[in-house]
Structures are given as C-alpha cells and as structure tokens.
A and B are shown apart, each in its own frame.
Chain A
Amino acid sequence: MKRAVFHVAEFQVLNWKSEQPEILRDRIREAGIVGMGGAGYPTHEKIEKCLAYDPRTVLVNGVECEPGVSADETLIINYAEEILEGCAILERCLGTTGSHLAVGSRFVFNTFKELKKANTTLTVVEATPSSGEERALVQSVLGQHIDSDEFPANKGILVLNVATVFAIYEAVCKGYRPQDRIMTVNCIDVWVPLEEPIECIVGRSTQLTAGGCYTGRLADGQQLTQATLNAIESDRPPNPSPCIRCGWCTDVCPLKLPVEAIYASRENEDQWAQFAVDLHTCFECGACVEACPSQIQILDVIRQERSSLTHQNRAKEHARIANERFAERNRRLERLANQAAERRASREQSSRKW
C-alpha cells in the first residue's frame, strides 16, 4: 500500500532486542504515540500504569467493532510481520513473555497463522458491534471480568489497538513519528495523512462524517484528521423515517440499555435524569444505529442528551457551590456584626479612659 506521507527518520533506529526497556519506553513517549483505537490515551502513560500494577500480558485489539469500517483488518493483512514485531517490543517494555492478538475474522486469522511466532497467541473473536470494546475483549479472550469503572491496565493487562502497535514498531525500528494512518474513506482503506482538513481528503460536502457511517459524528470540512479517527464518510443517510417503536435498538444493545425509551424521552428533559446511568454506560458501539429500520442516528441523540445532562449537572454543582458561598458570606457578615456589637457593648460598659 502506498503511504500518504514520505517518512523521514526523526529518531535513531533502535535494536529492540538488545536495548533496555526504559529506552524503548522513552522512545514511545518521545514519538508521541497515542491510542489509535479511538480514545487517544497516551500509550506511554498506559504502559507505566500497567507497570505499576504487576504487568501480566499484552492484548492487541484487531477486532473491528464497526460494520463498514475495515481499516484495522487491512492494516493487519498488509503489515502482519510488523505488528508481530511490535507485540514483541511491547513484551520487552513490560518485561512479560507472551501476548495475545485478537482478530475479528477467520480470514485475518489465516493470514497470521503462516507467520505465527511462538509468543503471540491468536484468538478469533466473533465480530459483533460490541466485541471490540476493551472490557468485552478482555472478558472474551482472557476470561477476566473488569468492572465498568476500572481499566484493564489496573489488572496488568495492556490493551492496545493494532494501529498503535504498528506505530510503536515504526517509532522503534524505523525511527518514524506517526504521521499517517489507515482509514476507511468511503468504504475504501487508504493511508491518510494526519492533521489534514477532512474536506481535502474526501471533497466538500455538507454531510461529512468523522467516523464510520453508524458511530460517526457530523463533521465540519475544516476539521483535521486525527490519529484516533478510523473512518471518514462523505454522506450520511438522509431523512430518517419516524420512529415506529419496533424496539430493535433495545434488542441489539450489548449493554441491554433501554435505547428505545431513551430515544423516546429525547424531547423531555425531566425524563433524561432517570437514564443518567445508562447514558454514561453507553460506549457508542453503533449497534442501535445499524439495527434501526428508520435510519435514525440514535447515537447523536444519546450524545446530545449526555452532554446536556453533564451541563445540567455542572450547572447544578455551580449553583450548589454559589449557594454555599452565599450562606458562608451571610454567616461571616453576621459573625462580624456580632463581634462589632460585642465590642461596642464592652466599650460602653468599660469606664472611660479620658
């Protein structure tokens, strides 16, 4: 595949088999590598967090969550050896032996089987819209349950996207800083330069979507491509039909959230509050959008409700703080007035000095 950017080695090429793990970790930090699966968490911090909690294993996430996006799969098929080498680098960073690589399809699995190395265990995970989420992946590959308020790194499991692992390989073995990534641009996988306005890549449109057609957000043409973005679409499904309450969104939700009820309460702010927990649990897999026969962008509604809820909570918090400060001020003024009265009374009672 043709790269989008001509890379120049910015760093010295390291021979990772002989270098110290600290030097490898410094390289990952210097190259500014962030998680390319979507969250954009700095990778060196994740590694350090993992080291602090007794590192156990590396889990490389090659499961494509979203229907219509195949950027990770293309990367794995074209750069399989590099990714396996990246796994080995990470093992050395953490000082563990053995890593896991989860892929979403049998086809990719067969690609790897030919050049399989001893340390990396390969697993095929059924590619459902939710199976690529890191907690679900740890559950299905390693069989360990992780609560929604904890991170895999807290259990010593380093979960990284394949694109991140590839970037780590390039930073260490080639001395490159990440400057491009594979994206699914209107269903075709290509290398796309980072920090480039979206409309320079797909052309002008009023319906640009940053992200896949189910989970993406409506984007401005001037928005820049980022390492965390894995797809660009130049048009969204227009004119949704009205909701007919078929409930398929609720049926497909991997977290069993009452999606239809949440959507039905979209115009009623009072009702959002009862769904606050659900709204914050949703990890935006897009299964509901895919299932919807009326082609409603349910995720847009959920995101909007969530942000309004956050704003409401913030406003409530501000009001509470202001109220407390006001009460404190009143108490202080009262106290000062009392002290002044006491002083005056004591002065009046004491005999005159002159």
Chain B
Amino acid sequence: MVKPQLTTPQLMWLVASSLLPGLLVATLYFGHTILLNCAVAVGVCLLADIFSTRNPRIVSDGSATVTGLLIGLSLPPSIPLHLVALAGLAAILLGKVVFGGLGKNTFNPAMVGYALVLVAFPEDLTHFDATTGATALDVLSHRGGITVGEASRSPAYGDFGALGYEYVNVAFLGTGLFLVGFRIIPWYLPLGMLVGLALPALLFYDSGSSASLGSPLFHLFAGGTMLAAFYVVTDPVTAPRSVGAKILFATGIGCFTLIIRAFGAWPDGIAFAVLLGNAFVPLLDKIPFRRRLPTS
C-alpha cells in the first residue's frame, strides 16, 4: 500500500481539476452560464482569500479554488451573478476566515456560502428559468396529490434521475471513484453518504404512490448527490477523526438529505444536511471508537 506522496496544495489542485469533467457535462446540459458562475465564484473566493490573509501567494494552496468551483457547480445556472459573488464571499469570510483559516473551520465553506444564498434569496434559487422549468426535485417536493409515478413522467425527469442532473452526477461519480482509487479520499465517506441516502429511500419506496419519497435510483442521480458525496462530505477538515465516526457522519448526512428532500421546504437539502452533519462533528469526535491501545 503506497500512499501518493503529494503535498496539501497538490492535493487541492488535483481535486479542483477532477471537478472539471463534471463541469464540462454540466455546461453541455445547462449552457455556458454555469461556466460563468464557476468563474465568478472562483474569482471572488480567491480575492476574498487574498484580502483576508493579505498574502497573494495563498492562491497557490488551491483550497479557495475548490470552494469556488463547488459553489459554482451547486448553484443553479440561471442565478444572477451578484448572488454567486455573494455566495463566494460568504463562503470564504464566514465559512473559513472567521474560524482562523484553512484547517480550522467547523463548517464546509462552500456549503456555508450556498446555504446563505439559499436562505436569503429563495425565489432566485428554487424558481428556474422558463426554458427548463422546475427541477425534478422541485416537482417531487411540490407535487401535491399526484403520485410519484405520475410526477416522474413530468418533463423535469430524465432517463433514471433528474433531467440533465443524472449525467452530471455520473460524471462526478466517475471522477470521485478516480480519487478514491488513488486514495486521495477514503472510500467509506462517499459510500456512507450514498447508503445513508439510498437505503431509507429503498425501505420506504412503494413503487411510486403519492406518499412515496421517490425511488433510490432517482435520489442517487438527482440534484448534487454525487458532488456532495465525493467532494463535500470528504472534506477532511470538516469530517470527524475516527473511521467509525466518519461513517456515522456520512450516513447521517445521507439520511438528512433524504428527509429534507422528502419533507422539507427546500427541494434539495444537501447543503443543510452537510452543515447539520458538520455541527455534529465535535460530538462525534468525543465518541471513543475502539481506541486501540498499543500492543507491543
């Protein structure tokens, strides 16, 4: 077992570049606006990082780039650019700098920025432009009396997930598995989150009545599931320490995501689920998970 001898900045840049295939697929489905969003978010994050640390060389550590890319990818393509900039600013300042910089933050910076914009400007995020209409998760969330089976025939649904999002998710699944294969991220975090999301969905799936929560396959390939599972939950800074706590943490985020998607007011609750999970980290760190005492 040979670990890649990479430095922290190299790791960050590797993660950032592995987001690019997903960004490309998203551009194909949602148009060039998502590219613009990503560029604005990355630019604002870098500027905020430089101004807060007064050190232009901070750009080379790559963490602000990853944060900016995650924000650009998770925000809907039709959002006004000033909101993207606000999300980036909030991510770096409220998500990272106030805690003392890289490595000390409790909450995932990208999710802090995203959640802030989501809470402050809900109409800009949940209402998509007229051409694409509502997202599949929106239809699921506000379906009223229709069954899930009927809802899944709405134009917002694709072949097996949400229209467009399914292939973006497949792209993130691919690059995420690449990172897992090279041991950049541990395998149990994404798997824990996906199982935590899909298993309850499978248990409560009754082939699509009006009270159903939606099929597990749909949940796995809708919204930002794969992006969150491979790029947000695996952020080492905001994850707990021991393996057992990490599995609990990831599974909990998966469950929270399903609960918010099915019963919450917001269509996609991954950001809130992640922030909720982050808030549990100090508690999870206190659990003594089989502290093996030295034997020799």
**A148 touching B294 by the CB < 8 A rule?**
yes
The segment from B29-37, B101-109, B147-155 that touches chain A is B101-109
What residues of B have a CB within 8 angstroms of the CB of A136 in the complex?
Answer: 296
**B8 touching A294 by the CB < 8 A rule?**
yes
A257 to B294, CA, bound (A): 7
- A146-B296, A244-B102, A293-B8 are known contacts. Are A252 and B236 too (CB-CB below 8 A)? no
**B6 touching A255 by the CB < 8 A rule?**
no
CB-CB contacts of B231-243 with A at 8 A, as 1s and 0s?
0000011010100
For the residues of A in contact with B, the DSSP-based class is: loop
**A293 touching B7 by the CB < 8 A rule?**
yes
**B296 touching A245 by the CB < 8 A rule?**
no
Contact of A145 among B7, B11, B237, B296 (CB under 8 A): B296
**B7 touching A245 by the CB < 8 A rule?**
no
What residues of B have a CB within 8 angstroms of the CB of A278 in the complex?
Answer: 294
**B236 touching A244 by the CB < 8 A rule?**
yes
What residues of B have a CB within 8 angstroms of the CB of A147 in the complex?
Answer: 296
Interchain nearest-CB distance for A237 vs B (Å): 9
Closest to A295 in B: B7
**B61 touching A241 by the CB < 8 A rule?**
yes
What residues of B have a CB within 8 angstroms of the CB of A241 in the complex?
Answer: 7-9, 61, 102
Interface assignment of A109: CB less than 8 Å from any CB of chain B: no
Interchain nearest-CB distance for A59 vs B (Å): 16
- A243-B103, A252-B3, A258-B241 are known contacts. Are A293 and B296 too (CB-CB below 8 A)? no
Interface assignment of B54: CB less than 8 Å from any CB of chain A: no
Contact of A261 among B10, B102, B241 (CB under 8 A): B241
What residues of A have a CB within 8 angstroms of the CB of B6 in the complex?
Answer: 293
What residues of B have a CB within 8 angstroms of the CB of A291 in the complex?
Answer: 3
Residues of A within 8 A of B (CB-CB), count: 30
A192 to B81, CA, bound (A): 65
Closest to B9 in A: A241
Contact of A247 among B8, B10, B241, B291 (CB under 8 A): B241
A-B pairs under 8 A by CB, number: 57
A146 to B296, CA, bound (A): 7
A269 to B7, CA, bound (A): 29
Closest to A260 in B: B241
CB-CB contacts of B17-46 with A at 8 A, as 1s and 0s?
000000000000000000000000000000
Interface assignment of A206: CB less than 8 Å from any CB of chain B: no
Interchain nearest-CB distance for B231 vs A (Å): 14
**B11 touching A242 by the CB < 8 A rule?**
no
A247 to B237, CA, bound (A): 10
Closest to B102 in A: A242
A268 to B265, CA, bound (A): 42
CB-CB contacts of A140-154 with B at 8 A, as 1s and 0s?
000001111000000
Interchain nearest-CB distance for B99 vs A (Å): 11
A249 to B11, CA, bound (A): 16
Closest to B12 in A: A244
> Which of A245, A260, A293 has the most chain B CB within a 10 Å cutoff?
A293
Contact of A256 among B237, B241, B294 (CB under 8 A): B294
What residues of B have a CB within 8 angstroms of the CB of A139 in the complex?
Answer: 296
Interface assignment of A306: CB less than 8 Å from any CB of chain B: no
Interface assignment of A281: CB less than 8 Å from any CB of chain B: yes
CB-CB contacts of A257-297 with B at 8 A, as 1s and 0s?
11011000000000000000110010000000001011100
A248 to B2, CA, bound (A): 12
Interchain nearest-CB distance for B282 vs A (Å): 12
**B104 touching A242 by the CB < 8 A rule?**
yes
- CB within 8 Å of A: which residues of B? 3, 6-11, 61, 101-104, 236-237, 239, 241, 291-294, 296
19 contacts between A and B (CB under 8 A): A148-B296, A241-B102, A242-B101, A242-B103, A243-B103, A244-B102, A244-B237, A245-B103, A247-B241, A252-B3, A255-B294, A255-B296, A261-B241, A278-B294, A293-B6, A293-B8, A293-B10, A293-B11, A295-B7
Further contacts, 16 of them, CB under 8 A, given A245-B237, A256-B292: A135-B296, A241-B9, A241-B102, A242-B104, A244-B102, A244-B236, A245-B103, A250-B241, A255-B294, A257-B294, A261-B241, A277-B293, A291-B3, A293-B7, A293-B11, A294-B8
